[in-house]
Amino acid sequence: MINMTAVYVLWLREMKRFMRAKSRIVGALAMPLFFLVFLGLGFNRMAVPGMTKDLNYIHFLVPGIIGMGLLFSSTFGGLSVLWDREFGFLKEIMVAPVSRLSIVIGRIAGGTTTGLIQGVMILGISFILGFKIISPASFFLSLLMMVLIATTFLGLGLIFASKLKDMQGFSVIMNFVIFPLFFLSGALYPLENFPIWIRYLSYFDPLTFGVDALRGLLLGVSTYPVVMNFVLMIFFSSAMLFLGAYFFEKSESV
């Protein structure tokens, strides 16, 4: 049974940690900003397959950078589990009279909210660089897609954090996972430029459909139908949430 009080407390704890860590906020925006400025403006006149003439490379890039920010922040959200294990907080909440599912949902709710904040901040910065969205309704639908992306990779981070015991090992392994997911997603370049065998690999990457959905919602241009992207992301996020809860349930607090 889900204990909503426990969910709220864990969500609130994550919010306070995020708002108090000013360096974390700056760090979360620094890398996306560098990508937008140096890649977006540097390749701004480059023709992008599938994009209309009134849309340039920076329009193509912004949804990919939002997806990148969500991928990195959400996956490394699993690192907080290892920190809590290291300092004994995880043991305390594990022995509390609440289900582990409530703990998982609370953590994912907090991580999803911080990821959503970062995604909106990146989108706000992109407006300064000339990015435009097609309608206010598309903005609110894109927020829903950001939630699905963040939930998917928070679940993935939780799976690894539940199986690993040290923070250094988590960082090394996650780098081997994050960068292939990022580069296979088509965040920086069109999927049409991939060799066919790499394109097949991209179909197994949830971020591929998340980024494509953001492009369809914000720009009106996408490789796959937006509805199909939503269905697939709901499937991926549900599967990762289930697996994250399962492995966390089987993990040890110490």
37-78 pLDDT per residue, tens = 777 666 666 666 555 566 677 888 889 999 988 988 888 776
Task: Judge whether 33 and 123 are in contact, CB under 8 Å.
Answer: no
DSSP state of 92: H
pLDDT surpassing 70 at residue 88: no
Q: How far apart are CA 104 and CA 248, in angstroms?
A: 8
pLDDT at 90: 62
Domain containing residue 196:
4-250
**What is the rounded radius of gyration, in angstroms, for the C-alpha atoms of the chain?**
18
Higher pLDDT, 81 or 239: 239
Q: How far apart are CA 249 and CA 245, in angstroms?
A: 6
How many domains does the chain fold into? 1
Percentage of residues in the chain having pLDDT higher than 90:
17
Q: Which of 92, 124, 119, 135 lies closest to 210, judged by CA?
A: 119
pLDDT surpassing 70 at residue 24: no
Task: Judge whether 149 and 67 are in contact, CB under 8 Å.
Answer: yes
Structure-block tokens of residue 168: 């250094």
- Burial degree of 51 (CB within 10 A; 0-12, 13-18, 19+): middle
> Mean pLDDT, to the nearest integer, of 162-169?
71
pLDDT in tens, 172-231: 777 788 888 988 888 888 877 788 888 888 899 999 999 999 999 998 888 889 999 999
